[in-house]
């Protein structure tokens, strides 16, 4: 248990898994609705450097409070990664709609294009790795959660890197992958793209190995969006990425978050992958996500 005593608000954090003291902390003593000072935000960022995932329980917040909290951690992304057309949007462009609801608040039909696209969240991924400058943090607020199922799982890409043998580490070190939502969705057989969406989803290059700017720790930068490796024949690249993903998502590297209403979960996309788990499609699941952008494309960041 780490205690942060330098300010009046007492922030305490304990790891959610005893066998992983540096992964997935549960935070106590923060009231997000009330707003946090920049000192507390700096402590949270320090804790994020250590834990990579933080869980805040009982945070009854609205979108504006969630956005205001998120803005402490860097420039904000707009919600351009999803597939809803503007007249289909339920939430503002500041919020990623991670729900199974349409703009009228009804559960979308089984074959709705937004739902089928959204099922891609059940593949292991890192948010916005398909954007030239990808995401730093994602903050996900549980507004309505199903009674069972629908966990969000996180895999620690630092631990996965540390556990790789040194020969494979050397092979990975300078590789560059192409990331696109066209790759991740093709894994599911989703192909309902219009021409404009295909253009918008042109692959972007990202390093396969990253160094965290604050801790210096190395990690694998994987995602189901990664579908090619520069300079490598396609089948060889795909099987290598598949092997790495299999390695990196072994249970010893995974934390599974079971949702309660008003949980807020925050993760560092630079060092974790995550995925949604299945749930009853007749139950409402309504999560709101804000996303903090990274500073630059990964190729412009020092390794």
91 binds ligand OGA (CB under 6 A): no
Q: Which is nearer to ligand OGA, 2 or 122 (CB)?
A: 122
CB 135 to ligand OGA: min, Å = 9
The nearer residue to Mn ion, 82 or 127, going by C-beta atoms, is 127
Which does residue 152 bind out of Mn ion, ligand OGA, none, counting CB within 5 to 8 angstroms by kind? ligand OGA
- 140: partner contacted, choices ligand OGA, Mn ion, none (Cβ within 5-8 A by kind): ligand OGA
- Give the nearest distance from C-beta 292 to ligand OGA in angstroms: 12
Site string for ligand OGA, 148-187 (x = CB under 6 A): ----x-----------------------------------
Q: How far is the CB of 179 from Mn ion (least distance, A)?
A: 13
Residue from 52, 164, 287, 293 binding ligand OGA (CB under 6 A): 287
Q: Tell me: does residue 127 bind Mn ion (CB under 5 A).
A: yes
**36 vs 265 by CB, closer to ligand OGA:** 265
Of the candidates 91, 150, 151, 121, the residue with the CA atom closest to the CA atom of residue 282: 150
Residues 6+ positions from 182 with CB-CB distance below 8 Å: 193, 198, 201, 203, 227
Instruction: Give residues 267-286 in contact with ligand OGA (rule: CB under 6 A).
Output: 274, 276
Q: Does 127 bind ligand OGA (CB under 6 A)?
A: yes
Name the minimum Å distance from CB 276 to ligand OGA: 3
Residue 206's binding partner out of Mn ion, ligand OGA, none, with CB under 5 to 8 Å set by partner kind: none
- Residue 287's binding partner, choosing from ligand OGA, Mn ion, none, with beta-carbon cut-off 5 to 8 A by kind? ligand OGA
Q: Does 156 bind Mn ion (CB under 5 A)?
A: no
Q: Can you tell me which of 59, 121, 126, 201 binds ligand OGA, judged by CB under 6 A?
A: 121
Q: Provide the minimum distance between the beta carbon of 101 and Mn ion in the complex, in angstroms, as a whole number.
A: 17
Select the span of 27-35, 79-87, 126-134, 292-300 touching Mn ion (CB under 5 A).
Answer: 126-134
d(CA 149, CA 58): 19
Site pattern 15..54 for ligand OGA (x: CB under 6 A): ----------------------------------------
Q: Exposed e or buried b for every residue in 209-240, given b needs 16+ CB within 10 A?
A: bbebeeeebbbbbbbbbbbbbeeeeeeebbeb
Three-state SS string across the chain, please? CEEECCCCCCEEEEECCCCCCCCCEEEECCCCCCCCCHHHHHHHHHHHHHHCEEEECCCCCCHHHHHHHHHHHCCECCCCCCCCCHHHCCCCCCCEEEECECCCCCECCCCCHHHHHHHHHHCCECCCCCCCCCEEEEEEEEEECCCCCCCEEEEEHHHHHHCCCHHHHHHHCCCEEEECHHHHHHHCCCCCCCHHHHHHCCCEEEECEEECCCCCCEEECCCCCEEEECCCCHHHHHHHHHHHHHHHCCHHHEEEECCCCCCEEEEECCCEEEEECCCCCCCCCEEEEEEEECCCCHHHCCC
Q: Which residues are at the interface with ligand OGA (CB under 6 A)?
A: 98, 121, 127, 138, 140, 152, 274, 276, 287, 289
Footprint on this chain of Mn ion (rule: CB under 5 A): 127
């Amino acid at each position: 248990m780490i205690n942060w005593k330098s300010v009046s608000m007492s922030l305490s954090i304990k790891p959610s898994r005893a066998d992983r003291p540096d992964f997935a902390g549960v935070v106590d003593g923060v009231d997000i609705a009330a707003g946090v000072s920049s000192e507390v935000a700096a402590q949270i960022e320090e804790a994020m450097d250590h834990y990579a995932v933080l869980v805040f329980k009982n945070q009854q917040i609205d979108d504006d409070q969630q956005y205001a909290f998120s803005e402490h951690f860097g420039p904000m992304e707009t919600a351009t990664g999803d597939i809803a057309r503007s007249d289909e949007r339920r939430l503002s462009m500041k919020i990623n709609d991670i729900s199974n609801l349409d703009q009228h608040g009804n559960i979308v039909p089984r074959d709705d294009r937004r739902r089928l696209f959204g099922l891609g969240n059940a593949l292991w991924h890192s948010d916005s790795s398909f954007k030239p400058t990808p995401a730093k943090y994602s903050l996900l607020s549980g507004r309505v959660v199903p009674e069972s199922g629908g966990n969000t799982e996180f895999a620690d890409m630092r631990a996965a890197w540390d556990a790789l043998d040194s020969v494979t580490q050397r092979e990975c070190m300078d590789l560059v992958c192409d990331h696109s939502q066209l790759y991740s969705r093709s894994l599911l057989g989703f192909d309902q793209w219009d021409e404009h969406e295909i253009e918008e989803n042109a692959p972007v290059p990202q390093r396969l190995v990253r160094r965290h700017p604050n801790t210096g720790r190395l990690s694998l930068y994987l995602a189901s969006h990664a579908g090619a490796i520069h300079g490598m024949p396609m089948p060889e690249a795909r099987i290598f990425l598949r092997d790495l993903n299999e390695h990196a998502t072994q249970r010893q590297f995974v934390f599974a978050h079971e949702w309660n209403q008003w949980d807020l979960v925050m993760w560092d996309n630079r060092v974790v992958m995550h995925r949604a788990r299945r749930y009853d499609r007749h139950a409402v699941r309504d999560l709101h996500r804000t996303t903090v952008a990274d500073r630059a494309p990964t190729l412009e960041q020092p390794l």
